[in-house]
């Protein structure tokens, strides 16, 4: 039978998809296809982080039901919204992320699988130069707005030896960008008397040419190990890229959100990393319109962004998710105010990004070509994980030297040197 795999959402979903891909390829009766029209089965990895994404997922499922395909839904929606999915069609199979390594038992009743077999022990099949590698599952925090903790469960850190073996296998498959992923990578080891910095040091001497991109880190779990993390980041295998979601620039609002850090803590983290790595790329996330957010609290976020000048700001309008604390909070912000604040923040973030990118003009970098761009261009990443667009003939996986000749808000332009 032919299986079409569609992945929506975070890097953790892509990591789970690599597990599914390997299982399917090992079974003599199942084949992965590139076109949905050729498929007998659709395997859909879903995301439910905000309501707009959730609605898009439901629309896709309804569309696939009309095509009379067998549908398997996994990802976060399969954990927290399986009843709603089943209402669309009772024959849809829901596999929570914690069970994706048992996919074959859902596809083929005769397949030999055991509940004693752990997800982290699963082999992966990567389909590109990117290798998403999960280092843990779940999260021990209870942020008021977050449904992911409910979907993915409590923190389970994977053994360092298994993570290293997965990395070595990915490099053997030709992968050159290793994306270490988790709900909060800096939480790694909190349940096993270890930490992320120790893991990074342990994996940093794997043989081969590759780069690590570290997934987002909660400031609360990053701060206690900051000196160790900076030491680990000194290794050339690590992109100088830091994703620390602040969510708000106001301490009271952070407390209401259930975030266990202060704005002062975030300043400390960013200043320490920039002192050691002046050109490091800082990415952050902001929620606009969280319940009770007043004008002064919103302005505190503006002031914070103006002060730290992050390279990337992911702005999300507050979305009340089912089963979360924020779902029942009063003092909802009117939609028109949320839209206006989001628009103003977007304008500010775009101007900061453009200003930061222009500082790279005239500099030379070694970049890894990672994907095709528009109009026969190619895109690579420099050591700061900045996307660099070039129009000269290169191939995915090439490592080339470039000079930056121009910049836009989202990327740089380079020429071969």
Q: Check which CATH number belongs to the domain holding 70 and give it.
A: 3.40.50.12160
Is the pLDDT at 111 greater than 60? The verdict is no
Residue 207 confidence (pLDDT):
94
Q: Are residues 216 and 140 in the same domain?
A: yes
**Domain boundary pick from 82, 107, 132:** 107
Is the pLDDT at 113 greater than 80? The verdict is no
What value does the mean pLDDT take over residues 363-367? Answer: 98
Is the pLDDT at 159 greater than 80? The verdict is yes
Residue 109 confidence (pLDDT):
67
Q: Is residue 21 part of a domain?
A: yes
Q: Can you read off the two tokens belonging to residue 58? A: 């439901």
**Domain boundary pick from 358, 373, 391:** 358
Residue 120 confidence (pLDDT):
65
Q: Are residues 20 and 91 in the same domain?
A: yes
Q: What is the pTM of this model?
A: 0.92
Q: What is the pLDDT of residues 376-406, one digit of tens each?
A: 999 999 999 999 999 999 999 999 999 999 9
Q: Can you read off the two tokens belonging to residue 400? A: 């080339």
The CA-atom distances, in angstroms, between 238 and each of 102, 227, 412 are 33, 16, 20
Q: Can you read off the two tokens belonging to residue 352? A: 């900061």
Q: Are residues 259 and 171 in the same domain?
A: yes
* Cβ neighbours of 176 (radius 10 Å): 22
Q: Are residues 124 and 145 in the same domain?
A: yes
110 confidence band (pLDDT: 50, 70, 90): low
What value does the mean pLDDT take over residues 102-106? Answer: 88
Give strand pairing partners of 92: none
Residue 115 confidence (pLDDT):
52
Q: What is the pLDDT of residues 167-190, one digit of tens each?
A: 999 999 999 999 999 999 999 999
Is the pLDDT at 124 greater than 90? The verdict is no
Mean pLDDT of the chain: 94
354 confidence band (pLDDT: 50, 70, 90): very high
Q: Is residue 170 part of a domain?
A: yes
What are the start-end ranges of the H helices in 44-175? 51-66, 76-80, 82-88, 103-107, 148-152, 160-172
For the chain, the straight-line distance linking the first and the last C-alpha, in angstroms and rounded, comes to 49
What value does the mean pLDDT take over residues 240-264? Answer: 98
Q: Is residue 315 part of a domain?
A: yes
> How far is it, in rounded angstroms, from Cα 74 to Cα 64?
15
Q: Are residues 229 and 282 in the same domain?
A: yes
Q: Which of 22-36, 86-100, 120-134, 292-306 has the lowest mean pLDDT?
A: 120-134
122 confidence band (pLDDT: 50, 70, 90): low
410 is in which domain, residue-wise? 364-416
Long-range CB pairs of 334-342 (<8 Å, 24+ gap) are 337/289, 338/288, 338/289, 341/288, 341/289, 341/298, 342/288, 342/289, 342/315, 342/317
Q: What's the structural domain count of the chain?
A: 3
Residue 125 confidence (pLDDT):
75
Strands, E, within 289-353: which ranges?
312-317
> How far is it, in rounded angstroms, from Cα 178 to Cα 175?
7
Q: Are residues 125 and 65 in the same domain?
A: no
Q: Are residues 238 and 325 in the same domain?
A: yes
Helix (H, G, I), strand (E, B) or coil at 2: strand
Is the pLDDT at 116 greater than 90? The verdict is no
Q: Can you read off the two tokens belonging to residue 144? A: 């008021």
Q: Can you read off the two tokens belonging to residue 118? A: 């752990």
Q: Can you read off the two tokens belonging to residue 347? A: 């304008």
Residue 118 confidence (pLDDT):
66
Distance of CA 380 to the CA centre of its chain: 19
């Amino acid at each position: 039978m032919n299986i079409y795999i569609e992945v929506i959402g975070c890097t953790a979903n892509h990591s789970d998809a690599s597990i599914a891909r390997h299982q399917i390829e090992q079974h003599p009766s199942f084949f992965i296809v590139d076109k949905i029209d050729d498929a007998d089965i659709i395997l859909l990895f879903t995301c439910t982080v905000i309501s707009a994404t959730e609605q898009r997922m439901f629309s896709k499922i309804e569309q696939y039901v009309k095509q009379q395909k067998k549908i398997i839904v996994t990802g976060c929606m399969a954990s927290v919204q399986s009843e709603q999915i089943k209402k669309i069609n009772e024959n849809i199979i829901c596999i929570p992320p914690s069970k994706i390594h048992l996919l074959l038992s859902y596809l083929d009743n005769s397949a030999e699988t055991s509940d004693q077999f752990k997800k982290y022990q699963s082999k992966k099949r990567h389909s590109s130069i990117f290798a998403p590698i999960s280092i843990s599952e779940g999260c021990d925090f209870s942020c008021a707005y977050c449904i992911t903790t409910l979907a993915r469960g409590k923190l389970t850190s994977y053994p360092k030896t298994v993570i290293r073996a997965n990395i070595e296998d990915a490099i053997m498959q030709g992968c050159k960008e290793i994306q270490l992923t988790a709900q909060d990578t800096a939480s790694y080891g909190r349940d096993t008397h270890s930490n992320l910095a120790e893991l990074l040091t342990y994996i940093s001497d794997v043989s081969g040419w590759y780069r690590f991109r570290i997934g987002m880190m909660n400031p609360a779990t990053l701060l206690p190990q900051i000196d160790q993390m900076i030491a680990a980041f000194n290794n050339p295998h690590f992109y100088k890229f830091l994703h620390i979601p602040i969510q708000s620039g106001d301490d009271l609002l952070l407390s209401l959100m259930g975030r266990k850090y202060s704005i002062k803590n975030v300043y400390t983290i960013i200043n320490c990393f920039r002192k050691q790595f002046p050109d490091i790329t800082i990415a952050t996330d902001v929620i606009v319109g969280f319940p009770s957010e007043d004008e002064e609290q919103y302005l505190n976020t503006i002031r914070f962004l103006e002060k730290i000048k992050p390279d990337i700001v992911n702005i999300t309008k507050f979305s009340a998710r089912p089963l979360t604390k924020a779902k029942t909070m009063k003092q909802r912000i009117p939609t028109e105010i949320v839209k206006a604040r989001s628009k103003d923040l977007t304008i500010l973030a775009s101007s900061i990004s453009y200003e930061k990118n222009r500082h790279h003009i005239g500099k030379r970098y070694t970049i890894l070509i990672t994907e095709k761009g528009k109009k026969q261009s190619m895109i690579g990443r420099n050591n700061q994980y900045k996307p660099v667009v070039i129009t000269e003939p290169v191939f995915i996986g090439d490592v080339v030297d470039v000079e930056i000749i121009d910049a836009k808000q989202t990327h740089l332009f380079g020429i071969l040197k």
